[in-house]
Amino acid sequence: MNSSPSTLRLYLNLIRWDRPAGWLLLLWPTLGALWVAAGGFPGWHLLVVFVLGTILMRSAGCCVNDVADREFDKHVKRTAQRPVTSGALSVGAALRFGALLALLAFGLVLSTNPATVVASFGALAVTLVYPYAKRFVSMPQAVLGVAFSAGIPMAFTAVHAGPTGDWGTVFSATAWQALDLRQVWASIPALAWWLVLGNLFWVLAYDTEYAMVDRDDDLKIGMKTSAITLGRFDVAAVMVFYVLFLAIWVLALIPYALGAIFYIAIGVAALQALWHWQLIRSRQRDGCFKAFRLNHWLGCAVFVGVAGGFAF
């Protein structure tokens, strides 16, 4: 890999390094689940694994996505100058870089436990499938929702499916012989799947806003998106998705009695959702894109409420 500044800049552009909103959208629900699974601060080891792993896997996903969409992106104003689409980076270079990032993320997972290692393959599979779902699924944002929720069950396996931080455990033949898929599923409580469901609706909300930005271009090239599928009900649907996200997380976490901090944070998140309605109601590109970019603050508010609820 050429290490010249211009080449480095291309790789940073490939993984959207200058736009952290993407990996923050993935990070906040993952950390929220990690705090819930651990009943509070999960320890520095798991925190580092999930923060770095989230950044690395989101970056790897960008590499795969840009390769898969390179022919479509040529016809979309916002994406025409992406490194692979413009030809500044080759397909092979992008895929090699994505594979390197995924391997680094897998190295972090290897410091957890066998069940989490197994779960990580499911997360990788959805990451690889999503870029191609846009060709066949009328609402590919739902597939993205699954991909962006994969860290939630992994958080529970990391906490509940055995000790972490011991490389010997992961590489122990005895540990793997004793592991079966039933153990992996057993380490993921029903609560985790409720959090996944809630997060799926949040992804549908913000990625529909994102799709509204490119609706005109996507119609011309035949791309399938939730903004096109929902038609004139797009704005109403986004708001329903926000409500379902917040309601499911609140109902799922009621047994934890997280207190006033949690509910104040949920209120702040709800106010942000109302602001997003103001931004997207006219369906203007700039407003929809701004709403999408600011969603990470909504997710941050929910996470602060969860972490604060356990701390106090």
Q: Which domains does the chain have, with CATH numbers?
A: 5-311 (1.10.357.140)
CA distance 34 to 56: 18
Residue 131 is predicted with a pLDDT of 82
Q: What is the pTM of this model?
A: 0.90
- Encode pLDDT of 55-101 as tens digits: 999 999 999 989 988 887 787 777 878 898 888 889 999 999 999 99
CA distance 9 to 87: 14
- Is 70 exceeded by the pLDDT of residue 164? no
Taking a C-beta distance cutoff of 8 angstroms, is the pair 245, 205 a contact?
yes
Taking a C-beta distance cutoff of 8 angstroms, is the pair 224, 140 a contact?
yes
State the amino acid at position 220 in one-letter form: K
- Encode pLDDT of 112-125 as tens digits: 888 888 889 988 89
Query: Mean pLDDT throughout 202-207?
Result: 96
Taking a C-beta distance cutoff of 8 angstroms, is the pair 32, 303 a contact?
yes
Helix (H, G, I), strand (E, B) or coil at 169: helix
Query: Mean pLDDT throughout 296-307?
Result: 97
Q: Look up residue 91 and give its two tokens.
A: 């397909």
CA distance 125 to 138: 20
CA distance 46 to 24: 17
- Among 1, 57, 14, 34, smallest CA distance to 195 is for 34
Cβ atoms < 10 Å from Cβ of 260 = 11
Q: What are phi and psi of 170, to 5 degrees?
A: -65, -35
Helix crossing, 44-68 with 21-38: angle to 10°? 140
CA distance 240 to 245: 9
CA distance 95 to 7: 15
**What distance lies between CA 20 and its chain's CA centroid?**
12
Q: Which helix (H) or strand (E) holds 97?
A: helix 91-109
Helix (H, G, I), strand (E, B) or coil at 138: coil
Taking a C-beta distance cutoff of 8 angstroms, is the pair 167, 117 a contact?
no
- Is 80 exceeded by the pLDDT of residue 130? yes
